[in-house]
Homo-oligomer: A and B are copies of this chain.
């Protein structure tokens, strides 16, 4: 668990790294040779839980790719409260927002659990994208998808009430896992922030849904969805 803190350079390690890189959607279109080239330049690091990867105001100059763990992206609004933007997991990348030269990010990234994350300096990223256009195309596609997701969340926040938002969120979790037993990716406090609610309102709506019989609240952030159709139709 602590043997990869520093690059060792032995063949076994490089192979493993290449395997990791190959699993990242961003690099999935690369041919083996290119994959090897990328793997050699990427710096893997372990991060403990609750570590701040970057903060607002810093000029974070690294693209980070998550191999294992979860990362919370959030903003501090002008009125001072925390707004969760998204939760990232394995295969996702972050730090691209400051790729536009000079711009400093206005949000924070925090590991929610111990995480394995690869880093790539922005200068290098720029060269990579020019050298491997397929990575650039993949990145365009990923950003498009992420943008569409954020826009969807935006119109949910603006247009729907608390119940609709919560139901839609639960359905998204359900569709992602395919199972009736879903697990919140983080604390209810953060989920509430993500949904634009106070923790109190989230708690109330969840118990309300439970009373109606649409779901059952379990321990350890588990929720068993009993009536998926009802939630979808809300």
Residues of A at under 8 Å CB distance from B? 75, 77-79, 81, 83, 85, 96-97, 99-100, 103, 105-107, 126, 129-131, 133-134, 136-137, 139-141, 143-148, 150-160, 164, 168, 193, 196
Contacts and interface: CB of A to CB of B under 8 A. Distances in A.
A59 to B, nearest CB: 14
A84 B133 CA distance: 33
Given A97-B144, A100-B145, A130-B137, A150 B154 contact: yes
Q: Nearest 9 CB-CB pairs, A to B?
A: A158-B196, A77-B159, A136-B136, A83-B155, A143-B143, A133-B133, A130-B133, A75-B155, A150-B150
Copies per complex of this chain: 2
Main secondary structure of the interface of A (DSSP, over half): helix
A156 to B, nearest CB: 7
A60 to B, nearest CB: 13
Most chain-B CB neighbours within 10 Å: which of A78, A131, A136, A154? A154
